[in-house]
């Protein structure tokens, strides 16, 4: 971005200089041979500059095209790219067939819960086996296992596609690497996360304006949550409540209000639709959307007056395994995944707002798109994931065990 | 001279026997003992991952100092015992009716038990929720229309709800599957003697058949008790909403920690080893010095008890049980796979074939199907071959290392699935055969074969215990080699058990998730992993469709198996 910024200002400076010289000197130099020569020279200067720019760009194009073609040829020779992540319908239904059709390289996707993935990779590596090329993993696994245990290679140098590198294609002015060294872990998504969902047949939106409204005795037993006593979205939200609203609020909400908890996301989505528990703390946008289409009056609440709205990097952060068995295929895959096509597939599949500027957002719930000037709580923020969340989660667990 | 030759022959036979014992012991120590030693050692390693090992008890003390651990263990024990007792009574009755009486339609009842066992748990529990939920459950809605009913009659989110669903989802089917072939092998001579002495059919069952089948019944009870302690899927769906946590859920929580806490999980899992040791002690004590031979070379007959008019009552009872416990939820499961959203009948046009279409057009489906069939067939064959030998060794009472061998065979069920999978992963990667085993269908088949060892060994051991030594002796006197005797006399006599073990292994290999989850690669992904992916990503309807498809595959195998086994049984009976 800096390099690009400097080039632009140099161009501006040249144009200004040329205008000053040309116009100023023209007046002075009318009828003067030297002045005419200078004038012609000034006229030719931008043309020469343009030519130079074209040649340079062509050169760069040739350069990336060459790299890209080499990568593609290498990937085809390697025969596959091994990607690891959570069970993922977008990967299964969209990415695998599209990537194969486009590049002729099959995607071998290993799905599992993060704990299973971690167990597998650690054991493999202890035995000297390196089977994975690319990780599409959640922030916890990425920040607390993959990065600190040095399982990754820098991803930034692998990005070659102009549409991936071009500053104007990213809302942050560049691809966002979230790790402390800013080169290993790419975050392509930034969605406003819902705080809760309500079924308006049972709960009026004006009844839940603030987080403290959830403590109304009227809602006792009417709130569902993913089990906050174990790792997962339920505990993460409770940790956030603990951090932003304090221990007393958590105690009241999770103990006194007797929320109904489950580990099965389908269960609380169904409860929400049926109105058994018309307030859902951890329902997912991609689970609720089909029910909204069926006519259920379900509303996603993004903001509460006493709680800063949140953003997250769902569905995944992308990183490349070190000693990847298919380095070219991995490079091909990460470039394509970071491109408009790859990101848009996930954006549509999960209803997540991306960080790319060229991804169609018309299909998104406007509430999911972060607004300028609003201060958000970032649930995928590195230090929050590594320390803050864990500390608050531990405090929540201690509180809940004391009930 | 001839006596010297005979003793030399016996010596060779014994040394072959020792060789087989040594081979079995070595194999089981390697594939079952080593992963567990690895897990136990890892649980004592308190160093952060990637750092040099440092040993201590921190993981153990953390796991056991959790205030919820003890209450969860107690809850598991209560649940397991509560559904074990009625489950065993029903199973013994049903196995007896199928195998030892002239109840009409007994083959159908047996087939239904098999079918019921292989219907996957997860969608079936969801079906029970649809039936019993206090606010929208079908049965509660129907009951609410009755004038004398106020409020919901049923509630699956309770202790008794969990017990009920356990009884419906394999609590009885599994036991009947294991007990029926054992009952079949029971010679009728003893029963006939009882009847001649004037005892009723039930008295004969209580005083003669059950004591004669004690080893098998105790083994099945022990298997079921351990399975009950390890169970957590049903408890997760039905117990969590009302704060019922079981011990296996605690272990599961540690394994899915971020980062995973396998040390703590192993520490908690070690309690199962203790339970196993206690069970094994009582099992041995109960059977010590007793003989359970029911099949001898003399006048073996398997004539069935005549129930008279009661046979129709028995059939009616069995069918009613199936109608309530299986047909009802199964119809909801089938319906679920045909609904746009499982259980939502109030949608506009609620039925659709879209989930079946999506399943059959999933690019991963056919590869997974092929992998699953290869894995399941290999597992079934390997289980029968391996565990018939081990069962024979254990039943022969000549094995010096029998207690150790038996303990090793139990281990795969004592260690929670994901931990066993981790142990096996470590073992596969540590062997020179890793390129063949790791990530391949053969590695998964081996892991699943190992996982099925308690069922295989216990079923075969119980079957061989029923065979009298005079059968082998008669063959030997007639000049038959041990191999010939084994192949032509013993194996045909235990064929029904072999078919049962083969089919259970086949079905379990198709449905097991926790064993292959760390061992599969994209090329060896089985259907069960695809099912897990569907369930995990909220595609319950597609999961239900796949679950039904897996059940259909197992049913076809069962029909084929019965085509082979039934003639053997009727030949015996004839």
Backbone angles phi, psi at B49, to 5 degrees: -55, 140
Portions of chain B given CATH number 1.10.3720.10: 17-56+353-574, 70-289+301-352
Nearest to A141 among B236, B241, B258 (CB): B258
Q: Could you give the angle at which helices B365-395 and B453-465 cross, rounded to 10 degrees?
A: 40
Q: Residues A351-403: pLDDT tens digits?
A: 899 999 999 999 998 999 999 889 999 999 999 999 999 999 999 999 987 66
pLDDT at B232: 78
Q: Which residues of B touch A107 (CB under 8 A)?
A: 522
- A131 touching B, CB under 8 A? yes
In chain A, residues with a C-beta closer than 8 Å to the C-beta of B67 are: 401
CATH 3.40.50.11030 matches B17-56+353-574 = no
CB B106, CB B98: distance < 8 Å: yes
pLDDT for the residue A23: 47
Nearest CA distance, A129 vs chain B (angstrom): 8
pLDDT band at A238; cut points 50, 70, 90: very high
- Report d(CA B400, CA B20) in Å as an integer: 12
Residue of B48, B534, B537 to mutate, testing the A interface (most A Cβ within 10 Å of its Cβ): B537
Question: Measuring CA to CA, which residue among A344, A355, A360 is closest to residue A311?
Answer: A355
CATH class as words, domain B70-289+301-352 = mainly alpha
- Scan for tokens 């295929």, then name that residue: A329
Between chains, do B241 and A149 touch, taking CB under 8 Å as contact? no
**Shortest Cα distance from A123 to chain B (angstroms)?**
6
Q: In the 3-class helix/strand/coil scheme, how is B544-571 assigned residue by residue?
A: HHHHHHHHHHHHHHHHHHHHHHHHHHHH
Q: Does B418 touch chain A (CB under 8 A)?
A: yes
CA distance B449 to chain A (A): 21
What would the DSSP string read from start to end of B8-68? HHHHHHHHHHHHHHHHHHHHHIIIIIHHHHHHHHHHHB-SPTTSPP-B-SHHHHHHHH-HH
Q: Is A244 on the interface with B (CB under 8 A)?
A: no
Task: Please count the residue pairs, one from chain A and one from chain B, whose beta carbons lie less than 8 angstroms apart.
Answer: 139
Closest-CA distance of chain A to residue B237, Å: 7
**pLDDT, tens only, A49-77:** 666 655 555 555 568 899 999 999 999 99
B517 and A116: CB-CB below 8 Å? yes
Residue bearing tokens 């003399």:
B298
Tell me the per-residue pLDDT of A97-115, one tens digit each, with 9 for 90 and over.
999 999 999 999 998 888 7
Query: Do B2 and B378 touch, CB atoms closer than 8 A?
Result: no
Is the minimum CB–CB distance between A150 and chain B shorter than 8 Å? yes
CB contact under 8 A, A129 and B518: no
Q: Among A87, A118, A231, select the one facing B532 at the smallest CB separation.
A: A87
Question: B435 CA to chain A: closest CA distance, Å?
Answer: 10
Beta-bridge partner residues of A225? A261
**Interface contact A372, partner B, CB < 8 A:** no
Which residues are within 8 A (CB) of B94 and not within 5 positions of it... i.e. 6 or more apart?
B109, B113, B172, B176, B318, B321
Q: Which two tokens stand for residue B267?
A: 């520490």
Instruction: Supply the pLDDT for residue A40.
Output: 64
**Which residues 6+ apart lie within 8 Å of A71 measured at CB?**
A160, A328, A331, A332, A335
| Interchain proximity A113–B439, CB inside 8 Å | no
Q: How far is B446 from chain A (nearest CA, A)?
A: 18
C-alpha distance from residue B471 to each of B99, B193, B212, B293, B443 (Å): 23, 22, 19, 11, 38
For residue B256, the SS3 value is coil
Closest CA–CA distance from residue A316 to any residue of chain B (Å): 14
State residue B525's pLDDT score.
92
Map residue A221 onto helix, strand or coil: coil
B538 and A115 within 8 Å at the Cβ level: the answer is: no
Q: Which of A228-242, B394-408, B495-509 has the lowest mean pLDDT?
A: B394-408
Name residue, tokens 């120590």.
Answer: B29
Which two three-digit tokens encode residue A242?
């603990």
Lookup: tokens for B327 = 């047909």
User: Using CA atoms, how far apart are residues A378 and A375, in angstroms rounded to an integer?
Assistant: 9
* Interchain CB contact of A395 with B (< 8 Å): no
Tell me the two tokens of residue B505: 């292994």
- What mean pLDDT value characterizes chain A? 87
Candidate from A238-247, B71-80, B221-230, B321-330 with smallest mean pLDDT: B221-230
pLDDT for B360? 92
- Residue A273 in contact with partner chain B when CB distance is under 8 A: yes
Contact between A110 and A82 (Cβ < 8 Å): yes
Choose the closest CB to B347 out of A113, A274, A294.
Answer: A294
pLDDT > 70 fraction of chain B, expressed in percent and rounded: 91
CA-to-CA distance for B509 and B442, rounded, in angstroms? 12
What pLDDT score was predicted for residue B218?
85
B301 touches chain A (CB under 8 A): no
Taking all residues of chain B, what is their mean pLDDT, rounded to a whole number? 82
A270–B237: do the CB atoms touch at under 8 Å?
Answer: no
């Amino acid at each position: 971005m800096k390099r690009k910024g400097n080039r632009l200002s140099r161009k501006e400076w040249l144009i200004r200089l040329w205008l000053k010289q040309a116009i100023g000197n023209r007046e002075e130099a009318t009828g003067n041979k030297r002045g005419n020569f200078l004038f012609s020279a000034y006229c030719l200067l931008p043309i020469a500059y343009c030519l130079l720019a074209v040649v340079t760009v062509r050169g760069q194009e040739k350069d990336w095209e060459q790299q890209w073609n080499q990568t593609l040829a290498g990937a085809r020779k390697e025969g596959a790219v091994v990607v690891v992540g959570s069970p993922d319908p977008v990967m299964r239904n969209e990415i695998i067939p599209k990537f194969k059709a486009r590049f002729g390289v099959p995607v071998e996707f290993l799905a599992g819960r993060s704990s299973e993935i971690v167990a597998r990779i650690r054991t493999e590596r202890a035995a000297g086996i390196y089977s994975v090329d690319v990780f599409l993993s959640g922030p916890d696994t990425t920040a607390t296992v993959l990065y600190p245990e040095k399982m990754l290679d820098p991803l930034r140098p692998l990005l070659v596609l102009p549409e991936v590198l071009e500053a104007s294609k990213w809302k942050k002015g560049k691809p966002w690497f979230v790790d402390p060294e800013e080169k290993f872990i790419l975050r392509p998504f930034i969605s406003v996360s819902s705080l809760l969902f309500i079924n308006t047949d049972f709960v009026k939106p004006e009844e839940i304006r603030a987080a403290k409204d959830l403590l109304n005795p009227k809602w006792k037993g009417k709130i569902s949550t993913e089990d906050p006593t174990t790792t997962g979205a339920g505990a993460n939200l409770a940790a956030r409540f603990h951090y932003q609203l304090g221990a007393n609020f958590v105690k009241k909400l999770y103990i006194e209000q007797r929320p109904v908890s489950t580990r099965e996301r389908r269960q609380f989505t169904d409860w929400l639709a049926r109105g058994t528990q018309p307030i859902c703390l951890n329902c997912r946008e991609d689970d609720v959307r089909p029910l909204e289409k069926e006519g259920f009056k379900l509303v996603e609440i993004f903001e509460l007056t006493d709680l800063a709205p949140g953003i997250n990097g769902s569905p995944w952060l992308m990183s490349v395994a070190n000693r990847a068995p298919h380095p070219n295929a991995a490079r091909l895959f990460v470039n394509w995944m970071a491109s408009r096509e790859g990101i848009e597939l996930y954006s549509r599949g999960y209803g997540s707002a991306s960080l790319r500027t060229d991804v169609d957002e018309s299909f998104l719930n406007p509430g999911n798109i972060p607004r300028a000037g609003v201060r958000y709580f970032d649930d995928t923020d590195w230090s929050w994931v590594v320390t803050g969340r864990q500390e608050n989660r531990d405090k929540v667990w201690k509180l809940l065990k004391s009930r | 001279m001839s006596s010297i030759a005979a003793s030399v022959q016996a010596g060779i036979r014994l040394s072959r026997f020792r060789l087989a014992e040594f081979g079995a012991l070595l194999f089981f120590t390697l594939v079952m003992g080593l992963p567990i030693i690895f897990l136990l050692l890892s649980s004592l390693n308190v160093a952060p991952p990637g750092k040099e090992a440092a040993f201590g008890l921190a993981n153990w003390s953390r796991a056991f100092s959790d205030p919820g651990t003890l209450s969860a263990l107690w809850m598991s024990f209560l649940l397991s015992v509560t559904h074990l007792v009625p489950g065993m009574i029903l199973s013994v009755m049903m196995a007896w009716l199928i195998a030892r009486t002239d109840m009409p339609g007994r083959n159908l009842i047996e087939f239904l038990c098999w079918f019921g066992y292989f219907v996957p748990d997860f969608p079936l529990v969801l079906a029970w929720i649809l039936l019993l939920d206090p606010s929208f459950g079908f049965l509660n809605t129907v009951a609410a229309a009755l004038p004398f009913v106020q409020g919901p009659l049923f509630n699956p989110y309770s202790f008794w709800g969990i017990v009920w669903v356990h009884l419906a989802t394999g609590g009885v089917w599994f036991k009947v599957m294991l007990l029926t072939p054992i009952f079949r092998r029971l010679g009728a001579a003893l029963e006939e003697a009882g009847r001649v002495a004037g005892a009723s059919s039930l008295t004969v069952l209580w005083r003669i058949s059950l004591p004669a089948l004690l080893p098998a019944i105790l083994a099945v009870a022990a298997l079921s008790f351990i399975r009950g302690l390890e169970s957590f899927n049903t408890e997760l769906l039905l117990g969590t909403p009302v704060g019922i946590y079981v011990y296996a859920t605690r272990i599961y929580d540690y394994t899915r920690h971020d980062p995973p806490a396998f040390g703590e999980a192993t520490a908690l899992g070690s309690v199962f080893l203790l339970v196993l040791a206690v069970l094994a002690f009582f099992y041995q004590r109960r059977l010590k010095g007793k003989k359970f031979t029911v099949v001898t070379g003399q006048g073996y007959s398997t004539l069935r008890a005549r129930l008279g008019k009661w046979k129709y009552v028995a059939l009616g009872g069995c069918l009613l049980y199936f109608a309530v416990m299986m047909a009802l939820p199964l119809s909801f499961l089938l319906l679920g796979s045909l609904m746009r959203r499982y259980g939502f009948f109030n949608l506009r046009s609620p039925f659709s074939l879209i989930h079946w279409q999506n399943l059959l057009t999933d690019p991963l489906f056919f590869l997974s199907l092929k992998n699953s069939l290869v894995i399941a067939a290999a597992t079934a064959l390997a289980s029968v071959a391996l565990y018939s030998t081990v069962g024979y060794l254990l039943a022969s009472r000549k094995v010096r290392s029998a207690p150790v061998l038996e303990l090793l065979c139990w281990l795969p069920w004592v260690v929670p699935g994901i931990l066993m999978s981790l142990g096996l992963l470590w073992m596969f990667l540590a062997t020179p055969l890793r390129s063949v085993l790791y990530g391949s269908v053969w590695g998964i088949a081996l892991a699943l074969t190992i996982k099925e060892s308690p069922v295989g060994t216990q079923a075969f051991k119980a079957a061989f215990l029923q065979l009298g030594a005079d059968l082998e002796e008669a063959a030997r006197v007639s000049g038959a080699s041990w191999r010939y005797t084994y192949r032509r006399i013993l194996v045909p006599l235990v064929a029904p058990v072999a078919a049962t073990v083969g089919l259970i292994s086949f079905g379990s290999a198709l449905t097991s998730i926790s064993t292959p989850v760390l061992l599969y690669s994209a090329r060896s992904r089985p259907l069960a992993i695809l099912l897990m992916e569907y369930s995990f990503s909220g595609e319950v309807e597609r999961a239900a469709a796949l679950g039904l498809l897996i059940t259909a595959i197992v049913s076809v195998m069962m029909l084929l198996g019965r085509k082979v086994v039934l003639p053997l049984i009727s030949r015996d009976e004839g």
